[in-house]
Amino acid sequence: MSTSRRDFLATSAAAVAAAALPTDAQASRLEGAPALIGLGESGLRARPCVVASANGLRGVEVAYNQISAGADTLDAIIAGVNIQELDPEDTSVGLGGLPNRDGVVQLDASCMHGPTKRAGAVGCLEDIATPSLVAKAVMDYTDHVMLVGQDARRFAIEMGFQTQNLLTEKTRQEWLRWRARLNPNDSFLDYDGNVDIKFTTGTINMNAVNAAGDLSSVTTTSGMAWKVPGRLGDSPIVGAGQYCDNTVGAAGSTGRGEANIKTCASYQIVEFMRGGLAPRDAALRTLERVVAMTERRLLDDRGRPKFDLQFYVVHKDGRYAGASLYEGAGFAVCDERGPRVEHCAFLYRRTERPR
């Protein structure tokens, strides 16, 4: 993984260009097959697989194709998430992400590389559209794991990343609508009549395993819409927003980051798999821990969380799963059968009492 700064920037630019190629969604299926194929250098038979949040449908195909061509798993999945980071229509990630309370877009990301046991992260990064690549640069070129705020921005510029205004006209208008409705007695007029205000907690997480059983994970986000400036969710926190152990598997999340942080959920999923649970069961068991650790103010009158949280999991042998607190969520996966969206397992139906 050791590369020169020049090679890093050249490789990053090529990965972003390749990741920008779109693809059509394909049919979904309910369960991931446990079959093992391929023979890695270690002698482990593993089925190459990439899983992600549902907004990563284009990205999982890009990442899978790169892995199949021999690319490193982390390079491949970062190329996959770059698609969303550079897509202004995805208002929860990168360029065009919904801003904080002050109208400033602040981005977070973290990554882990299973074979080298290394990790990198950035928090509250401004003016750089691809925080996943900056997180990887922290991993590759420093003795640290996380850089934050203006110093993360300065590091990125020193590494050759270009700055740009991440607030698009679309997201600026959304921020103006939100601000106008904060207080009916303030000096701002109502904006555009009856318009729904977005309160996103969206993110993109992506995890992969290759035929040798080598794993990587990455999570990137613009965080909670209208957040208090300086807020960090789970995405840049290793063990929460994502976690990878090359001897076991990888996991990551989207949804309410504060709930995820308190349970170190991605780490917990991997540890449950280390203890023998399948990816689906490990994710559901961890969601139960999330509910147990939820403050009363965030539970409804039936004891169910008022928020949602999703996990995306891949085992070292190629088994995978997605899981959510509530039914209806999907996740993206790509393996030898191509890219598709599958249904997440879940704890609660929308209309039933918790079990």
Distance separating alpha carbons of residues 18 and 153, to the nearest angstrom: 25
User: Among residues 347, 279, 339, which one has the least CA distance to residue 55?
Assistant: 339
Task: For residue 333, give the H/E element and its range.
Answer: strand 330-335
Lookup result for tokens 């194709």: 65
Q: How many CA atoms lie within 13 A of 194 on its CB side?
A: 0
Q: Tokens in use for 126?
A: 């401004």
Is 312 in a helix, a strand, or coil?
A: strand
* Tokens, residue 303: 């004891």
Buried-exposed string 29-58: b where 16+ CB fall within 10 A, e elsewhere: eeebeeeeebeeeeeebbbbbbbbbbbbbb
Cα-trace Rg, the chain? 19
CB atoms within 10 A of CB 342: 20
**Is 219 part of the annotated catalytic residue set?**
no
Which pair of tokens denotes residue 22?
């779109």
Other beta carbons within 10 angstroms of residue 149's beta carbon come to 14
**From 203, 219, 220, 286, the catalytic residue:** 203
Amino acid at 173: Q
Query: What does DSSP assign to residue 34?
Result: -
3-state percent breakdown (helix, strand, coil) of the chain, nearest 5: 30, 25, 45
Contact 311, 269 (CB under 8 A): yes
Alpha-carbon distance of 229 to 184, in angstroms, equals 23
Q: Which helix (H) or strand (E) holds 36?
A: none
Phi, psi for residue 136 in degrees, rounded to 5 = -65, -35
DSSP one-letter code for 104: -
Catalytic residues: 203
